[in-house]
Amino acid sequence: MPDTESELLMQVARTLRRRWAAAYAPLGLTPHQARAMRVIGEHDGVRLSAIAEALRISPRSATEVVDALEVAGLVTRRPDPTDRRATLVAVTERGGRTLGTLSEARAKEADEFFGQLSGRERAVLRDILGKLAG
């Protein structure tokens, strides 16, 4: 068992990430693709550079993730009306449905994972994590 708070926190994060990855697999999405879908879904058109920044990955990696999502019919590219050189990435109708399913799966996994805690414990954990997150 990890012996420091940081090791325990990382173990919890890894466990939750594994659960989410397993929940994304039936949707045909990798964790990177699922994260990208959430970022893209928050905007009505977002540049690749903003996706890369939000995901903390290189622009080239963001392009590869978006390419796969586009091939799957989940996102589309369109010209940026404010900059002819740039394109915007947006969720398609199918992508919107997938994003809804993704959000439900993510919430279900989190609820099951944190369900072992009482309501009071969850509130305390939320307060502590909020304080640490700044």
Local confidence band at 57 (pLDDT 50, 70, 90 cut-offs): very high
Q: Which helix (H) or strand (E) holds 35?
A: helix 31-41
Q: Domain containing 100 — which CATH number?
A: 1.10.10.10
Q: For the chain, give me the number of helices (H) and strands (E)?
A: 6, 3
Q: Is 56 helix (H, G, I), strand (E, B) or coil?
A: coil
More confident of the two residues 44 and 4: 4
Per-residue pLDDT of 94-106, as tens digits, reads: 999 999 999 999 9
Q: What is the pLDDT of residue 84?
A: 87
Domain membership of residue 37 as a residue range: 4-133
Q: What is the spatial distance between Cα 87 and Cα 46, in angstroms, rounded to a whole number?
A: 8
Q: Residue 84, CB half-sphere, CA atoms under 13 Å: how many?
A: 0
Q: How many domains does the chain have?
A: 1
pTM: 0.85
Q: pLDDT value at position 3?
A: 76
CA angle centred on 108, ends 104 and 110, rounded to 5°? 120
Q: Given this model, what pLDDT does residue 1 score?
A: 64
